Amino acid sequence: MKSKTIATSLLLALGSLFYSSIASSAVDADAAQALAKKEGCLKCHGIDKPKEAKSFKEIASKLKGKDADAKLLEHLTTGPKVKLQDGSEEDHKMLKTKDKAEIDNLIAWLRAQAK
Ligand code: HEC
């Protein structure tokens, strides 16, 4: 009787571990898009189509397999100089949010746009 209870609670614990690792690795696309909109990213970047800047699809495809997470994080937190379609240059927008989970989710979503 006792060992069955222990086995059951072990199974339950394993189950919730498994569940939470899935939940934290899945991209929440709606939240990422809402953040991109709130931060003003979509004014310059279309998801599939270029605007003032390249589309996220093109950017993600270019960065594929090249340490994309680190590059994206650096790009979005250091404000490097970029050239707009009209040839003018400006410092790239930096993320206003400092919420690590929100930033990680945005980066995972950006990476997932690759062709
Ligand atoms: C004022 C316009 C503008 C805004 C707003 C903007 N970007 Fe950009 N972004 C650019 C330009 C210009 C480039 C340079 C590449 C290009 O020509 O598209 C760029 C490049 C990038 C890159 C490519 C980095 C690389 O290593 O090649 C990423 C990723 C990116 N932007 C994401 C974002 C995100 C996320 C936001 C919102 C926080 C954002 N951008 C807001 C204009 C903008």
Residue pLDDT, tens place only, 23-73: 456 899 999 999 999 999 999 999 999 999 999 999 999 999 899 999 999
pLDDT of 22 strictly over 60: no
Burial class (CB in 10 A: 0-12, 13-18, 19+), 107: buried
CB-CB contact of 105 with 76 (8 Å): no
pLDDT of 95 strictly over 60: yes
Ligand 1 proximity of 45 Cβ (cutoff 6 Å):
yes
CB-CB contact of 25 with 109 (8 Å): no
**Minimum-distance ligand 1 atom for the alpha carbon of 94:** 38
CB-CB contact of 34 with 106 (8 Å): no
**Minimum-distance ligand 1 atom for the alpha carbon of 54:** 18
CB-CB contact of 86 with 52 (8 Å): yes
Give residue 1's pLDDT.
64
CB-CB contact of 49 with 42 (8 Å): no
Give residue 7's pLDDT.
67
Mean pLDDT computed over every residue of the chain: 88
